Structure 1
């Protein structure tokens, strides 16, 4: 009986340590990776805090993993996304501006120096470019 309890307790500690070391937000919401900031998700923060109850190191590592991945933040209203559009060679600048304006819900000018158009080889490459561009560009530009 004593051996069974010890095995169960050892398994529970190992399981909690593995979950804590990987970060709860990273496990529960992998789609949130790459968020730069926002409101902290209380459920993820509490789940990471449970790691602090068992040992300090797993809890601290869980918080570090989730903050570095951006998975501890709630999804924001200002987020970037990628829409795939296959354009034909006959499309001119005016037609592309109209398509982009319709999608964005506001006028888009391709002559603006803040607009960058680049052809990507894959969707993964496009998503990486969106992550690297920064989600909150409006806030950064308002400081200038």
Structure 2
């Protein structure tokens, strides 16, 4: 029974350390990665703080990772154009109708953007992202 209790304690400790090493915000909110700044999410900060209380080094690492990835920041909640509105320019096959997109952007933003030569980036096309000097998030 004593060895069983030690094994359980070791498993719980390992789980806690792994969670803290990979940072709370990054685990709970992966969609927030890539943010540069914003209002700090108190829930994520408290969870990282608890890790800092019990395990100093992993807690510091968790804060570092969350600040570096931007997962500690609350999302802004504002879009220039709502994603639901932009979805109207996408057909059933996933192709973007540039004329419809141009009309939506003109109506929502009040700007006439030249989209005649715009190219749609396909999922998994790392070469296109590299040409645009963009990185994959996610």
Q: Please classify the TM superposition score into its range, dividing by the shorter chain length.
A: 0.5 to 0.7
Q: Does 1:98 align with 2:86?
A: no
> Which residue in the other structure is 2:43 paired with?
43
Distance 1:77 1:69, change over 3 A: same
> Which residue in the other structure is 1:60 paired with?
60
CA deviation after TM superposition for structure 1 residue 101, in Å: 2.0
- The question of whether the paired residues in 2 share the 8 Å contact of 1:38 and 1:74 is answered with yes
SS at match of 1:63: helix
- The question of whether the paired residues in 1 share the 8 Å contact of 2:24 and 2:47 is answered with yes
> Which residue in the other structure is 1:7 paired with?
7
SS at match of 2:73: coil
> Which residue in the other structure is 1:25 paired with?
25
CA RMSD of aligned residues (A): 3.0
Question: What CA distance in whole angstroms lies between the structure 2 residues aligned with 1:62 and 1:23?
Answer: 4
> Which residue in the other structure is 2:97 paired with?
87
SS at match of 2:26: helix
Larger RCO (alpha carbons 8 Å, 6+ apart): 1
> Which residue in the other structure is 1:142 paired with?
none
CA deviation after TM superposition for structure 1 residue 3, in Å: 2.2
Distance 1:124 1:63, change over 3 A: farther
SS at match of 1:7: helix
Normalised by the length of structure 2, the TM-score is 0.68
Unaligned runs of 5+ in 1: 133-144
* Residues paired across the two proteins, number: 118
> Which residue in the other structure is 2:113 paired with?
110
- The question of whether the paired residues in 2 share the 8 Å contact of 1:97 and 1:108 is answered with no
Distance 1:20 1:49, change over 3 A: same
